[in-house]
């Protein structure tokens, strides 16, 4: 069975950056399952999945534009500490939901200087070229419910 629209594919992967550092890997875990054509994985990887079948091994280089996006300076903002009411101990690395004109985005605190808190709304991998080493584990038909929800249920997917 080949990967196409409305198929669920599960795959093992190792993700490295340009320097060869391993950023993420499924090694020692269940393979990652996704619904093809639903935007569950980055576009540059999803497009290379089309037509593959179980046992296929391949490498994909994904540009930032087809990965987690380019790094956008405007998503880095300095806000007053009082914006974080209810947070006892604000620290670098904390994540928050920020309301913007484009909707809610996840931001991470990258610096604190006195009353000034710097937050970054870029994805941690924004601006990175992604190098995936992939092995397809299984391809199956998506259920009616999975197609409606736009994601995979069960092992490697949503547990609801
Ligand atoms: Zn669901």
Please state the domain extents for the chain.
7-68+127-149, 73-120
CB 64 within 8 A of CB 127: yes
- Predicted local distance difference test score (pLDDT) of residue 58: 98
- Predicted local distance difference test score (pLDDT) of residue 72: 94
CA of 74 to the centre of ligand 1 (A): 34
- Predicted local distance difference test score (pLDDT) of residue 100: 77
- Predicted local distance difference test score (pLDDT) of residue 5: 96
The pocket of ion ligand 1, defined by CB under 5 A, consists of 149, 158
CA of 28 to the centre of ligand 1 (A): 25
CA of 153 to the centre of ligand 1 (A): 6
Q: Enter the pTM of the model.
A: 0.81
Q: Which fold has domain 73-120?
A: Thrombin, subunit H (2.40.10)
Cα–Cα distance between 141 and 109 in angstroms, integer?
Answer: 41
CA of 84 to the centre of ligand 1 (A): 33
Of 16, 9, 75, 2, residue with least CA distance to 41: 9
The three-class DSSP label of residue 51 is coil
CA of 154 to the centre of ligand 1 (A): 9
- Predicted local distance difference test score (pLDDT) of residue 105: 86
Spatial CB neighbours of 38, under 8 Å, sequence gap ≥ 6: 150, 151
- Predicted local distance difference test score (pLDDT) of residue 115: 93
CA of 21 to the centre of ligand 1 (A): 33
CA of 43 to the centre of ligand 1 (A): 21
For the segment(s) 7-68+127-149, the CATH number from 1.20.140.10, 3.10.50.40, 1.10.357.10, 3.40.50.300 is 3.10.50.40
CA of 144 to the centre of ligand 1 (A): 11
DSSP code of residue 67:
T
What does DSSP say about strands 116-120 and 76-80: parallel, antiparallel, or unpaired? antiparallel
Cα–Cα distance between 133 and 20 in angstroms, integer?
Answer: 12
CA of 7 to the centre of ligand 1 (A): 15
The segments of the chain whose pLDDT lies below 70 read none
């Amino acid at each position: 069975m080949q990967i196409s629209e409305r198929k669920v594919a599960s795959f093992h992967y190792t993700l490295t950056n340009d320097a060869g550092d391993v950023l993420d890997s499924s090694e020692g875990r269940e393979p990652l399952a996704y619904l093809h054509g639903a935007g569950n994985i980055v576009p540059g990887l999803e497009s290379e999945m089309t037509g593959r079948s179980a046992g296929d091994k391949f490498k994909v280089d994904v540009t930032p534009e087809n990965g987690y996006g380019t790094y956008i300076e405007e998503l880095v903002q300095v806000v007053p500490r009082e914006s974080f009411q209810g947070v006892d101990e604000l620290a670098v690395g904390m994540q928050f939901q920020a309301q913007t004109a484009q909707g809610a985005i996840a931001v991470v605190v990258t610096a604190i200087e006195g009353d000034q808190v710097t937050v970054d709304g870029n994805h941690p991998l924004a601006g990175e070229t992604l190098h995936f080493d992939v092995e397809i584990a299984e391809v199956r038909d998506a259920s009616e419910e999975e197609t409606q929800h736009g994601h995979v249920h069960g092992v490697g997917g949503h547990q609801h």
